[in-house]
Amino acid sequence: MTKTVWVINQYASTPETGIGGRHYLLAQELAAKGLTVYLVMASFHHVLHSPVSVSGRYKLSKAGKLNIVQVKVPRYDDAHSGRRMINWFIFAYQLLGLKRFITDKPDAILYSSLSLVGFLSAERLARYYRVPLTFEVRDIWPLTLTEIGGVSRRHPFVRLLQWVEDRAYRVSNRVISNLPGAVNHMVERGMDPTKFEWIPNGVSVDEMDQNTALDNQFASAIPRDQFVVGYAGTHGVANALDNFLDAANLLRKHTDVALVLVGRGKEKERLQVRAKEEHLDNVLFLPAVPKAQVSSVLRMFDVCFIGWKDESLYRFGIGANKIPEYFFSGKPVIHAYSGGADPVAQFGAGLTVPAEDPEALAEGILRLYRMSQGERDTMGANGKRAVLERYDYFLLATRLQAVLFQEKPAD
Q: Residues with Cβ < 8 Å from 167, sequence gap 6 or more?
A: 119, 120, 123
Which pTM value belongs to this model?
0.90
Q: What integer pLDDT is reported at residue 408 of this predicted model?
A: 63
Give the total residue count for the chain. Answer: 411
Note whether 4-202+392-404 and 206-390 share their fold.
yes
Helix (H/G/I), strand (E/B), else coil: 333: strand
CATH 3.40.50.2000 correct for 4-202+392-404: yes
Indicate the class that CATH gives domain 206-390. Answer: alpha beta
Q: What integer pLDDT is reported at residue 411 of this predicted model?
A: 47
What is the 8-class DSSP label of residue 282?
A: T
Q: What integer pLDDT is reported at residue 399 of this predicted model?
A: 95
**How many whole angstroms from its chain centre is CA 61?**
24
**How many whole angstroms from its chain centre is CA 176?**
14
Q: Phi/psi of residue 49, each to 5°?
A: -100, -15
> Which sequence spans correspond to the domains of the chain?
4-202+392-404, 206-390
Q: What integer pLDDT is reported at residue 78 of this predicted model?
A: 76
* CA dist., res. 29 & res. 398, Å (int): 8
Q: What integer pLDDT is reported at residue 17 of this predicted model?
A: 85
Do residues 406 and 209 make contact, with C-beta atoms less than 8 angstroms apart?
Answer: no
pLDDT, tens digit only, all 411 positions of the chain? 789 999 999 999 988 888 778 999 999 999 999 999 999 999 988 878 788 888 899 999 999 999 999 999 988 887 777 788 899 999 999 999 999 999 999 999 999 998 999 999 999 999 999 999 999 999 999 988 888 888 899 999 999 999 999 999 999 999 999 999 999 999 999 999 999 999 999 998 887 877 788 889 999 999 999 999 999 999 988 899 999 999 999 999 999 999 999 999 889 999 999 999 999 999 999 999 988 888 999 999 999 999 999 999 899 999 888 999 999 999 999 999 999 999 999 999 999 999 999 999 999 999 999 999 999 999 999 999 999 999 999 999 999 999 999 876 544
